[in-house]
Structure 1
Amino acid sequence: MNIKISRGALRGTVQMISSKSDAHRLFIGAALADQPTEMVLNGSSEDLEATLQCLQALGADFLRQGDNIKVFPVEKKEELAVMDCRESGSTLRFLLPVAAALGRNVLVEGKGRLPQRPIGILTELLREHGCFVSNDQLPLEMHGQLKGGTFSLPGNVSSQFITGLLFALPLLEEDSEIVLTTEVESRGYIDMTLHTLKRFGIEVEEGKRGFSIPGGQQYHSPGVMQADGDWSNGAFWLTAGAMGQPVTCCGLQMDSPQGDKAILDILKQFGAHVEVEGDRVTVSHGKLKGCVIDAAQIPDLVPILCMAAAAAEGKTEIRNAGRLRIKESDRLAAMADCLKGLGVPVEEKQDGLVIHGGKLTEPQGEIRIDAYGDHRIVMSAAVGAALLGREAVIEGAEAVAKSYPAFFAEFIRLGGGADVL
């Protein structure tokens, strides 16, 4: 699906959807718990549906009541479980260790770029601890019972590997230890996992080198749980406010462990005005100036921050973002292409971008932006095109369904122009 974006301001109030990152974790905790759990959600997405279907394949069940979902815990099954992770890296990397801890015989599949995304570190750890894993990329088969012990892995490859092990290891008979051989990146996502585990009564002790996890633990259902509002997707609207007219996002908790709430500090660094009142966050335009952004802990914010940088006067340098090359797309290359298409001077580095804001060049002919099948590229391009005053066609705009199916409905409601071609 191609969508034509018209130039113009976005302004108004958005009720934020539930955090995909939080809901993934809550669904897994609920599926492993001792009693059913009522999940209160505001909206869903393709990635969350992938996690639900994979948990169902492992023996959980669900009852939908509007947007809310009642989760019935996993029951032991003997037959082969087919886990289709679709394009969800979180689903794959969280649930592969969980399936191993449950001793399940599984066939794991995926589509898009997911079969090419790296999981070799994780599959090798599972082999070292008692499992047969047929391949280091999808599709793969796995069987055998995961055993506890010491799990050594780098902390700067994927926080999702660590999260998957943190969910799985409490289920084992033996005690376990996760030893991190490098500094951790995307620390906020690990904090979200630890927060979820605590809510389900799981004990994890953090040390200087990693985590100690006692075996033989039981997940205990809190009864009713509500997923936090989504700071990652809220960042698109908040950045729109920084680039133009005021935008307010409701339902964003300031005490959330989500690392992407750092968007507020970064927009302030650019020079935007930020107001917080309870769970309402309003961002409005200031005199934006280029700055240096360390993306090691907030990689998912980089695409939309590129648009703030394009609107800011002077140079913005985004550093420590090399892992973006192995996301749903090579996000550094994709955003460099997107910015160039919009007339923004940009230099692509191996682990980052240098963006020269306030120096738009006039495009030659129609602007067409390839989203590379990546939901964050689509949303960033839409916000950027509208607020930089460009008419542009975004190719592959249906990718927003991965995390934010209602994005374009909200975009239009806030005053944006978006026409399906």
Structure 2
Amino acid sequence: MTAPPKPLSLSAERALSGTVSVPGDKSISHRSLMLGAVASGRTTITGLLEGEDVLATAAAMTKMGAVIARGDTAWTVDGVGGALLEPESALDLGNSGTSARLLMGLIAAHPITATLIGDDSLQARPMGRVTAPLGDMGATFASRGGRLPLTITGAAQPMPIEYTLPVASAQVKSAVLLAGLNTPGDTIVHEGEVTRDHSERMLRGFGAEVEVTETDRGRTIRLRGQPHLSGQAIRVPGDISSAAFPIVAGLIVAGSRVTVTGVGLNPTRTGILEALGLLGANVGVSKDGAAGAEPVGDITVEAGPLTAADIPARLAPLMIDEYPILMVAAAFADGDTEMRGLAELRVKESDRLAVMAEGLAACGVPLRLLDDGIVITGSGGRAIPGGARIDSHLDHRIAMSFAVLGLNAAAPVLVDDARPIETSFPGFAALMQSLGVSAHVDDQER
């Protein structure tokens, strides 16, 4: 039986205040499990995000031979030493597009067959941009229209490729590099726009030879194939994508001051901080060290006037997941904020561009939808009308964004179903309550 929806609305009767930490970075959590699973020896992971998406990756790697266990303070992964086993049943990846696309890369260079399945949302997401380069490396695919359910048969003799990304996508880049691990020779990826580089950093940490060259036309990544990967001790920093929700909440509720500690500050992920700076947000960043190859620090925000700005398209690859919550911030700026370069939002867990436009309009926020972006007319800090019931389309970031929007609304904003939030941010409502927010299961009951 399908679990019933869990409606959620948040309200703020006073200024938000406090210091919080957010769950571990989802991108790094996925990669630590995958690389630990194909390495030799034991990998120990602290701070792993225990959301549904990451747990789907753990279950898939277990089916392919890794031994993964949750301890009192850390997760352990005993790897297969490079040779994945053929799973005896389908790999159910739930809602996780990252799991699907990166696992396709790992499997592509192993002589095994695996079927990937997922929920309705994942099955609607296109996989052709990943199957194309992996097919050039020798993998074969069977699917309906390039979507899940999808069966992949890895190449017995995989071939290295030199591939130029047609769109900025860290997932496609990572899938090709992961396939290159079990491929002789050099696998080369060219990207015209810099995307998040967690894969390159972590591959080096496990012992792979990865060379990155910066040019005026982007970046070239060269991976030397068939390295010996050894288990590592990994500390996963807080996810800046998750931190963005309490950060924006602290910016839009008058008098608020919020600090988020231990956040990953990888420069390929901090576009949201630059974008908020363009809006005039009072954001302070204190770098306090590193978690392995990843810089880490604290972020403190104070509420204050926001001013509309043009958000440059160059930021899109550095903050594609944060645009929904950035749109919430823009709804309270003074003037028209224009965001472009957002075509990628249309192929996320939902068509995030269309869904955000629909929900913002329902809450009384004036806007104009563009083919690859949006123009939002902000309230200048005043409460928006609100009073809408939002269809989250089973998208965790949509659900959290509109929950935050309701903190400065004249009438409650009710998100139809908070269950998808568990995929990336377990304990979201409790964390917001610790800052002084009231959480309601619907528009009448606490």
Provide TM-score, normalisation by structure 2. Answer: 0.87
Report what 1:111 is aligned to.
119
Report what 1:227 is aligned to.
236
Provide Cα deviations, 1:25-83, integer angstroms capped at 9, x if missing partner: 11112112111111101541011011111111221111211352100103653554521
Q: Mapping of 1:366-381 within 5 angstroms?
A: 366-381=387-402
In structure 2, the CA distance between the partners of 1:179 and 1:392, relative to structure 1 (3 Å rule), is: closer
Q: Determine if contact 2:332/2:378 at 8 Å carries over to the other structure.
A: yes
Report what 1:286 is aligned to.
304
The reply to whether residue 44 of structure 1 matches residue 50 of structure 2 is yes
Paired residue type of 1:6? S
Computed over aligned residues only, the root mean square deviation of the Cα atoms, in angstroms, reads: 2.1
Paired residue type of 2:248? T
Q: Mapping of 1:57-136 within 5 angstroms?
A: 57-66=63-72, 68-74=74-80, 76-78=84-86, 80=88, 82-135=90-143, 136=146
Q: Distance in 1 between matches of 2:261 and 2:147?
A: 39
Which stretch has the larger CA shift, 70-79 or 103-112? 70-79
The reply to whether residue 150 of structure 1 matches residue 168 of structure 2 is no
- Of 226, 239, 243 in structure 1, the residue corresponding to residue 248 of structure 2 is 239
In structure 2, the CA distance between the partners of 1:415 and 1:42, relative to structure 1 (3 Å rule), is: farther
Report what 2:11 is aligned to.
6
Describe the SS at the equivalent of 2:45: strand
- Alpha-carbon shift at residue 236 of structure 1 (Å): 0.9
- Alpha-carbon shift at residue 7 of structure 1 (Å): 4.5
Q: Distance in 2 between matches of 1:419 and 1:139?
A: 37
- Alpha-carbon shift at residue 305 of structure 1 (Å): 0.6
Describe the SS at the equivalent of 2:440: strand
Provide Cα deviations, 1:264-323, integer angstroms capped at 9, x if missing partner: 222222122222343322100222100111342211111111111111111100110111
Q: Distance in 1 between matches of 2:384 and 2:199?
A: 46
Which stretch has the larger CA shift, 164-173 or 204-213? 204-213
Q: Give 4+ residue runs of structure 1 displaced > 6 Å after superposition.
A: 359-362
The reply to whether residue 138 of structure 1 matches residue 132 of structure 2 is no
Which stretch has the larger CA shift, 121-130 or 405-414? 121-130
- Of 315, 319, 331 in structure 1, the residue corresponding to residue 340 of structure 2 is 319
Q: Mapping of 1:205-284 within 5 angstroms?
A: 205-207=211-213, 210-222=220-232, 224-244=233-253, 245-253=256-264, 256-257=265-266, 259-277=268-286, 278=288, 279-284=297-302
Q: Distance in 1 between matches of 2:350 and 2:35?
A: 29
Report what 2:293 is aligned to.
none
Q: Determine if contact 1:370/1:395 at 8 Å carries over to the other structure.
A: yes
How many residue pairs get matched?
A: 412
Gaps of 5+ in 1: none
- Alpha-carbon shift at residue 393 of structure 1 (Å): 1.3
- Alpha-carbon shift at residue 157 of structure 1 (Å): 5.1
Gaps of 5+ in 2: 1-5, 289-296
- Alpha-carbon shift at residue 371 of structure 1 (Å): 1.1
Q: Distance in 1 between matches of 2:250 and 2:402?
A: 15
- Of 357, 373, 381 in structure 2, the residue corresponding to residue 352 of structure 1 is 373
Q: Determine if contact 2:64/2:86 at 8 Å carries over to the other structure.
A: no
Report what 1:15 is aligned to.
21
Provide Cα deviations, 1:145-195, integer angstroms capped at 9, x if missing partner: 251222434341532011111122022233333345xx23xx342x11111
Q: Determine if contact 1:84/1:109 at 8 Å carries over to the other structure.
A: yes
Q: Distance in 1 between matches of 2:384 and 2:403?
A: 18
Q: Determine if contact 1:195/1:257 at 8 Å carries over to the other structure.
A: no
Q: Distance in 1 between matches of 2:311 and 2:76?
A: 41
Q: Determine if contact 1:17/1:43 at 8 Å carries over to the other structure.
A: yes
Report what 1:164 is aligned to.
175
- Alpha-carbon shift at residue 263 of structure 1 (Å): 2.4
- Of 292, 295, 301 in structure 1, the residue corresponding to residue 322 of structure 2 is 301
In structure 2, the CA distance between the partners of 1:150 and 1:250, relative to structure 1 (3 Å rule), is: same
- Alpha-carbon shift at residue 211 of structure 1 (Å): 2.6
Q: Determine if contact 2:43/2:231 at 8 Å carries over to the other structure.
A: yes
Q: Distance in 1 between matches of 2:413 and 2:70?
A: 39
In structure 2, the CA distance between the partners of 1:362 and 1:379, relative to structure 1 (3 Å rule), is: closer
Q: Distance in 2 between matches of 1:54 and 1:80?
A: 11
Q: Determine if contact 2:331/2:376 at 8 Å carries over to the other structure.
A: yes
